């Protein structure tokens, strides 16, 4: 009998997670055009092909160019209808490629204006998720328990940096706190966002499961947001931090120390001793080894976004140079994510296809890799429910592998 192969079809059918996906980076291009027309937002092109050519490219010069597209996507996400639609479509697109669990992240404070606050934004997002969950989960195989249901949660992003132009909420805050050092205002803004996240979960029953910190790392340390993360920790929200993306291992250390991060967004430069800038760290090699050991031992999960990293980090011009191979070798808890389905022009299945090919991942390691996302998710339910759900995912995963001629159980 011919040896079975890991095909795109198998990868699509396998149950997957996407724990790191930005709502405002993952619109359907057709929806962006439709919303822009209705809301009189001017785009650089009004056709999908034009948008792909001018804004959402295959490759970018650097991170600033990558981020340009967000100016257009956030400009259309300013009302409940648009936000609900985009959140609903994101879930439907993920479902169509076998994603069973997703955590949608974004900064709701960027969508607010007079009479439309953070809680309104989160309500609209949750409505989109709920509608997509209901539609998908009425499949007979899910109702009979043969397949795991689709579930999704919201991760609210605080920002390392912002200006008046980011949103009216931020403009008001900067005006009111003009006497304080900027850094302190960033910290206060994060506390406000975390309070809203807690309120959304506890008073409105919305599926807000965690918080994140986004924005440039260099010059904007995670330590500024320590108090905000303490609030989240005290409320038992999940904690993730974008770190080690365009800055070195110390940034990851800060995220897990000052912010007690359960997961790290990217963590690309975890092993890169040469990127350490803190002069008090004398033995860089052993610092990095100990840090990696700590991250591995505590099962702090790295949310790895391969395509996005290749697009924003010019030094990674080839996938084989990405430290993902070392992350696997060192037995770290890692999960593949899209970051931005539109801006990075990718899907979870495509991320797996690339990883399997570039890093020669066999069926056994692939089976393990698929599970980390489910196990380390901020699942919105009790621990017993989460365990039962993960069990169901494992059984379904093995059944899909078996259907394709593999035995991984």
H or E, element range at 337: none
- Rounded Cα distance between 110 and 169, Å, is 8
- Rounded Cα distance between 258 and 250, Å, is 11
Q: Which is nearer to Zn ion, 18 or 339 (CB)?
A: 339
Residues 317-356 that bind Zn ion (CB under 5 A): 339
Residues 236-295 that bind Zn ion (CB under 5 A): none
Shortest distance, CB of residue 309 to Zn ion, whole angstroms? 10
CA end-to-end distance (rounded Å), the chain: 20
Shortest distance, CB of residue 67 to Zn ion, whole angstroms? 11
Q: Which is nearer to Zn ion, 12 or 354 (CB)?
A: 354
**Is the separation of the CB atoms in 171 and 164 below 8 Å?**
yes
Reduced to 3 states (helix: H, G, I; strand: E, B; else coil), residue 54 is helix
> Beta 151-159 vs 263-266: how paired, if at all?
unpaired
- Site track 171-210 with Zn ion (rule: CB under 5 A), x = hit: ----------------------------------------
Question: Please, which residues have CB within 8 angstroms of residue 294's CB and are 6 or more apart in sequence?
Answer: 256, 300
Question: Count of residues binding Zn ion (CB under 5 A)?
Answer: 1
- Rounded Cα distance between 409 and 399, Å, is 9
CB-based closest residue to Zn ion: 339
Shortest distance, CB of residue 294 to Zn ion, whole angstroms? 23
H or E, element range at 328: helix 324-329
Shortest distance, CB of residue 339 to Zn ion, whole angstroms? 5
Q: Which is nearer to Zn ion, 208 or 264 (CB)?
A: 264
Question: CA neighbours within 13 Å on the CB side: how many for 387?
Answer: 3
Q: Is 385 a catalytic residue?
A: no
Q: Which is nearer to Zn ion, 20 or 127 (CB)?
A: 20
Sheet strand arrangement including 301-304: 16-22, 99-106, 151-159, 208-214, 238-243, 263-266, 301-304, 334-336
- Rounded Cα distance between 265 and 305, Å, is 8
Shortest distance, CB of residue 110 to Zn ion, whole angstroms? 14
Q: Which of 245, 250, 303, 351 is catalytic?
A: 245
Residue the block writes with tokens 């918080």: 211
Shortest distance, CB of residue 5 to Zn ion, whole angstroms? 32
Active site residues per annotation? 245
The residue ranges that bind Zn ion (CB under 5 A) are 339
């Amino acid at each position: 009998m011919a040896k079975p192969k890991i095909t795109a079809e198998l990868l699509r059918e396998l149950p997957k997670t996407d724990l790191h996906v930005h709502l405002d980076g993952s619109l359907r291009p057709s929806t962006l055009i439709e919303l822009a027309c209705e809301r009189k937002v001017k785009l650089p092109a009004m056709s999908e092909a034009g948008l792909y050519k001018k804004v959402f490219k295959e490759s970018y010069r650097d991170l600033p160019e990558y981020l340009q597209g967000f100016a257009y996507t956030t400009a259309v996400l300013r009302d409940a209808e648009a936000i609900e639609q985009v959140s609903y479509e994101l879930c439907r697109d993920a479902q169509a490629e076998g994603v069973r669990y997703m955590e949608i992240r974004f900064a709701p404070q960027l969508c607010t204006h007079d009479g439309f606050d953070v809680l309104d934004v989160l309500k609209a997002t949750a409505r989109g998720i709920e509608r997509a969950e209901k539609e998908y989960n009425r499949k007979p195989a899910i109702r009979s328990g043969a397949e795991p249901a689709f579930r999704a949660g919201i991760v609210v992003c605080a920002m390392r940096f912002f200006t008046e132009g980011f949103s009216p909420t931020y403009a008001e805050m900067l005006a009111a706190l003009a006497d304080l050092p900027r850094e302190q205002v960033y910290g206060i803004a994060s506390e406000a966002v975390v309070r809203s996240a807690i309120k959304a979960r506890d008073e409105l029953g919305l599926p807000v499961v965690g918080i994140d910190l986004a924005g440039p790392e260099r010059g904007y340390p995670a330590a500024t947001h320590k108090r905000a993360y303490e609030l989240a920790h005290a409320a038992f929200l999940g904690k993730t931090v974008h770190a080690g993306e365009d800055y070195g291992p110390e940034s990851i250390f800060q995220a897990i120390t000052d912010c007690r991060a359960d997961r790290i967004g990217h963590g690309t430069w975890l092993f890169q001793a040469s990127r350490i800038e803190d002069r008090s760290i004398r033995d860089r090699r052993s610092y990095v080894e100990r840090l990696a050991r700590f991250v591995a031992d505590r099962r702090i999960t790295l949310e790895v976004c391969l395509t996005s990293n290749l697009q924003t980090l010019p030094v990674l011009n080839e996938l084989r140079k990405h430290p993902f191979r070392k992350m696997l070798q060192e037995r770290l808890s890692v999960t593949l994510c899209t970051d931005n389905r539109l801006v990075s022009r990718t899907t979870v299945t495509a991320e797996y296809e690339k990883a399997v090919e570039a890093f020669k991942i066999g069926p056994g390691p692939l089976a393990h890799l698929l599970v980390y996302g489910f196990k380390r998710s901020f699942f919105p339910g009790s621990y017993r429910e989460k365990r039962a759900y993960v069990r169901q995912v494992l059984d379904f995963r093995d059944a899909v592998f078996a259907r394709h001629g593999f035995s991984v159980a």
